[in-house]
Amino acid sequence: MKKLFLIFFLLPLFIQAQTTLDEIITDMTLPHEGRPHGVATSIDWALKPRVGAVVPPAGWNAAIAWGQLYEWIEGNPATNTRVQIKDLEMYYLSKSDRKWHLLQKSVGVDGAAYVEDFAGDVNKPADKRIEPDGSVSVKAGGGYNFHFWSKLGRVKYPVNDVAGIYTTVKARLIVDKADLPDDRATARYLMSAGGDWWQTLTVAWDQWKTNADMGISRFRFVTPEWKSFNMCSLPSDTIRKNPPPFLAVSTATNLIRKDSPELIICPNPASSTTQINFFQENDNSLNLSVFDVYGRKIETLLHGSISSGKKSIPWNTSGLPSGTYLIRLENSEYVATNRCQVIN
């Protein structure tokens, strides 16, 4: 009974870490949950999200994903809370095959503390800490935000083949110092996602002459549970017809994106070992990883190029605590997931 209670207690946390198609759409259509501090209403993204340059200017060839972290306009009483940020990703919808393709993915991010309205591009080093999984946690405030971007820098995209862009990043509240009171319940941090087109991979910033933003998503409050923040430059009906890669919430056992291969885990629940089965349509490079309900990577089961065909990957669960785990299979074309219950 105790184990059963734990499963149902943790399951809502697990589900909250996922993204839904409706969430992606409302991240670009609804007003902000709260206004970011220090951003005047005359600035076009102060009150609601907006789309920028859907496709890159002619002759440009580089892009980068980014995000913004702000304190709430009405204040942030928390002093012992940080915001952990990870998994900044960018995808483009191809004009030629109407599929989403991964452009950029980074567990960690780079960034700086900028004056909240970006006046004069004034910035300073952020209060940044590297977490054990390679992600970053930060604080913002005192008239400064935290503007961050992919740790890998700009990437090239296929010129003349971009129909739209989707960027996404995950964040949650964590305790700053373990020996001080946990004040996450009073924290009021807001985050949004975005991306920029750049003239080239190396051109310097020049008063927005060499870069143009793709869009700025809805600001939503960061919570103690992992949450995704999403920007998509396409209209809602186009997004529904061409869903970007995301983990869809479902009451069923499988959490699998449309057109992704099905992951079959047997036995499930597992007590000592199980097999993860899937069909690989083409020769491809992929990652097969295990995460806990808090989004922490537990183990990498497979990494690298594999041939097409049926695959059965063993997973030894004997040393793991009982609970729910997420199995994630991903490559440049899709993301597929499934849950496995471990009982030891």
pLDDT in tens, 152-207: 899 999 999 999 999 999 999 999 999 999 999 999 999 999 999 999 999 999 98
Q: What does the mean pLDDT of the chain come to?
A: 86
C-alpha to C-alpha distance for 196 and 199, rounded to whole angstroms: 10
- Per-residue model confidence (pLDDT) at position 71: 98
Residue range 200-232, pLDDT digits in tens? 999 999 988 999 999 999 999 999 989 999 999
Structural domains in the chain, sorted by start: 2-11+249-342 (2.60.40.1930), 21-241 (no CATH)
Residue 249 is predicted with a pLDDT of 34
Model confidence at 40, in pLDDT bands (50, 70, 90)?
very high
- Whether the CB-CB separation of 334 and 260 falls below 8 Å is answered with yes
Q: Hey, which of 138-142, 278-282, 315-319 has the most confident mean pLDDT? A: 138-142
Q: Is the dihedral of CA 127, 130, 133, 134 positive or negative?
A: positive
pLDDT band for 80, please (50, 70, 90 cuts). Answer: very high
Top-confidence residue, 339 or 187: 187
Between 184-188, 262-266, 310-314, 323-327, the lowest mean confidence (pLDDT) is in 262-266
Other CB atoms within 10 A of residue 283 CB:
10
Q: Does position 7 have pLDDT exceeding 50, yes or no?
A: no
- Residue-wise pLDDT for 45-55, tens only, equals 999 999 999 98
Specify whether the CB–CB gap between 252 and 262 falls below 8 A: no
